[in-house]
Amino acid sequence: MKKIITTEKQPIKLWLDDIESGAFEQARNLANLPFIFQHVAVMPDAHLGYGMPIGGVMASAEMVVPNAVGVDIGCGMCAVRTSLITISTDQLKGVLAEIRRTVPLGFNHHKKKQDPRLMPKPEVPLDELTIVSREYQAALTQLGTLGGGNHFIEIQKGDDGRIWLMVHSGSRNIGFKVANYYNHLAMELNRQWGSNIPTSWQLAFLPITSEIGQTYLREMRYCVEFALANRKMMMERVKEALLAVVQPVTFEPMINIAHNYAAMEFHFDRHVLVHRKGATSARAGEIGIIPGSQGSPSYIVRGRGNPESFESCAHGAGRKMGRKQAQRQLDLAREKKRLDDQGIIHAVRSARDLDEAPGSYKDIDEVIDNQLDLVEVLVALRPLAVIKG
pLDDT tens digits, one per residue of 254-291? 999 999 999 999 999 999 999 999 999 999 999 999 99
Q: How many Cβ atoms from other residues are within 10 Å of residue 250's Cβ?
A: 8
Q: Judging by DSSP bridges, how do beta strands 270-277 and 163-169 pair with one another? A: unpaired
In sequence order, which residues have a C-beta less than 8 Å from that of residue 293 and are 6 or more positions away? Answer: 317, 356, 357, 358, 360, 361, 364
Section 158-185 average pLDDT? 98
Rounded to the nearest integer, the mean pLDDT of the chain is 97
Section 358-383 average pLDDT? 97
CA 226, CA 232: separation in Å to the nearest integer?
10
Minimum mean pLDDT range among 68-77, 212-221, 321-330: 321-330
pLDDT beyond 90 at 69: yes
Q: Does an H or E element contain 94, and which?
A: helix 89-102
Query: How far does Cα 286 stand from its chain's mean position?
Result: 17
pLDDT beyond 90 at 87: yes
315 is catalytic: yes
Which pLDDT belongs to residue 331? 93
Nearest Cα to Cα of residue 258 among 242, 274, 269, 270: 274
Q: Judging by DSSP bridges, how do beta strands 260-267 and 270-277 pair with one another? A: antiparallel
Which pLDDT belongs to residue 223? 98
pLDDT over 90 percentage in the chain: 97
Do 55 and 68 form a contact (C-beta atoms < 8 A)? no
CA 349, CA 18: separation in Å to the nearest integer?
31
Q: What backbone torsions phi and psi does residue 102 show, to the nearest 5 degrees? A: -110, -15
Do 24 and 34 form a contact (C-beta atoms < 8 A)? no
Section 197-205 average pLDDT? 97
Domains, the chain, ranges and CATH?
3-320+361-388 (3.90.1860.10)
pLDDT over 70 percentage in the chain: 100
Q: Which of 47, 259, 315, 346 is catalytic?
A: 315
Which pLDDT belongs to residue 389? 83
Which pLDDT belongs to residue 136? 98
Do 288 and 281 form a contact (C-beta atoms < 8 A)? yes
Taking CA atoms, 282 is separated from 43, 269, 310, 314, in Å, by: 12, 18, 9, 9
Which pLDDT belongs to residue 59? 98
Taking CA atoms, 197 is separated from 8, 51, 190, in Å, by: 15, 12, 9
How many residues are given for the chain? 389
